[in-house]
Amino acid sequence: MSGGGVVPDVCLLFERKCQAFDLAHENTRPGAILAFLNADWRDFESIPAKKESPDHAITLFDFHRLLSETGWQLTHRIECPLSSERLSGTLVQRMQDKRILGTVSRTLLIAKHI
């Protein structure tokens, strides 16, 4: 799995070298290391923090469980700060008015194949 699989397909088409991984452990060489950058996992722009439900989101715990169940062992969890410039003043004001919790970081998970 490499995103939607587009990158490996394009590399094959243009006869370029590319390495991708598959969560299915039988397709992964032993000792492989995976870096997984968690980007899109919740709808924070329209739901007040008190009304958020994990039933409508993919949480970090879900990613951890999925990786663990497919032969990966998490070794590191790193918080990667993002620039606050990605949130405009208008967006911040709307989030404050609606009491919406915003984030300016992403979580990087490092795992090794076991």
pLDDT tens-place string over residues 50-71: 777 777 777 788 888 988 888 8
**What are the start-end ranges of the E strands in the chain?**
33-38, 72-81, 105-113
> In residues, how long is the chain?
114
pLDDT tens-place string over residues 96-110: 898 887 778 888 999
Report the amino acid identity of residue 14.
F
List the chain domain ranges.
32-113
Q: What is the pLDDT of residue 39?
A: 67
Q: What share of the chain is helix, strand, coil (3-state, %, to 5)?
A: 35, 20, 45
Token output for 46: 């329209």
Give which of 36, 53, 4 is closest to 108, Cα–Cα. Answer: 36
Q: Mean pLDDT over residues 75-87, rounded?
A: 85
Q: What is the pLDDT of residue 3?
A: 57
Residue 30 has pLDDT above 50, yes or no: yes
